[in-house]
Structure 1
Amino acid sequence: MQPSPLSRAILAAGILTVIGGGAMGSMPGVVAGSVILLFLFSRAIIFQKAENQVIGTFHLKRECDNHIVRQYGTITVTLSADLDLPDGYLISIRDMPGPGFEVPDNHPEFDFRDATDLTYRIQARARGSISFFGATVEMVNRFFSTAIIFTRPEDCMPEVQVQPRGSRVVLEGESLGYGESTSRRLISPSGTVVRSFREYMPGDDPRQIDWKITAKTKRLTIREVYAQAGEIPVVVLDIPPDSGLAEQLIGFAAGAAEDSLKTSHSVSLLAIAGGNVIRFLPDERQASRVLAAIRDLPPSARWNQFYHYLSENDARRVKLSLPAGSPLHRWYDAVIQNRGIPSFEAECIRAFARTKGTAVLLFTAADGDTSHLGMVARAAKRIGLSVHLRIPAHSAASIRPGAFPIDTIEVI
């Protein structure tokens, strides 16, 4: 609690009146000074009660339009608050983004008398899981002011998953830029070209740690690499029922296929609608044919629904949580032993096996039942392909990290 200039003046007047009255032997002067000090003390008690009222009734809600973003991506944050506003007080609320965020505009703050919410934009600078610090409530009246910092778990939500930015593919003979001509001589065990070394940051792949340099510098150091040219992606396009979303995903898939053909010899296309295979084009080298196959995809209904299909890993996890020997435990054990690979997953395995692809780019709106996405990912993993999910911004909150065997998730 900080006194205002008015309170300091009243305090000084009260003290001087008491001292002056005592020095002159004037009892009325001492009484008058004491009344002034008691008045200021009573205002402090009233302010403290109002502060406790705000602390007890304050509720904060923070929403982000994206919960999974790429590094340096922009997030729109909506902050709303609810509290019992005491009479005669000015209250302002300031958001406190974490150290991994940067606010390009002014400080995110609003006056509670004029508005109950605030919308602002931040940029994700660090990688990994980033949360907010909380919020600060500033109370001011004519006599005192205070700043209350709320750092409860609910005041620091939500967490934002920031994916590292992908390194661009460097073609043979392409310049790396000034000062980097010798870095082509450094080859990582995976066959990619090492660009440089830097200190480890949260969110980096632990497999990129260079242990020799780490031992020399006494700090975790990772290799920054360029992706190896010539990789062949398999573009999987999950067509949603909504025509607007379908056009958006088709555009992104067409762009990814066209860009892939600039750096690889061919690209494969698998178009699905939920659990239905619509079109399959393996190892196509002509961009015109790939783009025509994507652009001419007809609107497709999802005839096969899996209704939250229970995968084998999910069944094993549920089985382990049940008492051994119980009827449900025996039932799950029988299901695991007798069930086979779903027909849609087997169809995806056959399609992936016919291609020369090394990675799956899965474009989907992730709406409704997403069991078929898990089948696509498991089919790719069965034959050794990496899986990279590409989803619109509004669908980021519907994907739980770790729900499917997916290597990366990127908002498009």
Structure 2
Amino acid sequence: MRIKNPGLTVILSAVILAAAGVFFRDFNYTIAGFFISGILLLNYHYILLNLKRAALAAEINRSLDKKFVRRGEVVEISASVTVPGDYPFDITAEDVIPAGTEMFTGSNTCEIKGSGSVRYNVTCLAHGSISPAGIRLNLGGFFFSAGILIPEGGRDDITVFPSLKFSDAKSRLFGGKEVDRILPIKGSGIRDFREYTYTDDMRSIDWKVSAKQGKLFIREYTGIEGEGDMFIVDLPDVEEYGRDIEPLKGVVGSVISSGDYRDKVLVRISGCNLVGIRRIRSGAVPVKNILNDIGPSVRDVHMYRYRTGNIRGDLTDRYSEVKSAFSGYERAYSFEEEIFAIFEKNNPGGIKIMTGGTGDLSHIGVIAKAASKRGIKTHCCIPKDVGFEENLRNLRQFKFDILEAL
């Protein structure tokens, strides 16, 4: 039950008028004070009586668009409240936001004129079972207002599983009691947890977390800070920039031969096109054999920009422009997903990006941003060729930890 200072209003009215009666030596003021206080007290109890009557007669229907989600996802909650009968006061309903969620969009309040409904979206902040707290009916009169909560425990629960997205502040495992404290459950050196796949090492399975969640989860360990666990080579276009392959090979050979490249991952891209992924299993593999994989490739569409002429066939310029822009955006998004999937699968402690530094470099920015979100150190190298100073200036916008020309 929630009241806006009813007792204080009644007491102040009685005290003020009683004091006036004593001051003016006229007990009519005192009698008037008690009379007004009695009216206010009756009004207060009349509001409570109507509020309890409305709460007993209220019918609540609730629906959720999803009952099984992952942490960080949005759930749409809708509820309708029907209060039969006539009431001399205004009634409003407030759907209490469930614990472990936060309001995303919409409104959780409505006026009740026989019936009313609310519809809003919440973001699930902690995994586990989240239950609606209930509907609060608020009744407001001229002097007082009061509210009463109609609980709904155990109805329409939302089951929230841990998020499997890339590591950030909203995608880690949380304890059942840690709804308000944003603290991940991790051991020393563990970056995050994710679901087990058939290609993972069973020795990385965390059996305690797996037993709690009912699924197999593996531990993802942090890499050595600053160590280049992954090499990403941006290959030139086979048609336009094939002549730039030799300077790029020089950079790749210099980077690989400068350290221990055993058990490293070599990712070859050409613009937005993911050409191939190779794990260097042994340090006995000659560098020249690795360089044989470095060659011009078909460069995919540019990201965040469009160019006319990408669509084959006799189409109007406007249609070609719109279609090209849409295709570029669609491909850019899928390329970003591919990068996150590579990072999640291999979990590098650091990456070394090698590119010619020419042409559209939006895809390099996407890689740098994805690495920054996972806390991965980035090291970018370009050939020390003609015009490399301008290329360095263009690449500085992506805020690499290390940017150099070799």
Q: TM-score, normalised by structure 2?
A: 0.40
TM-score (norm 1): 0.39
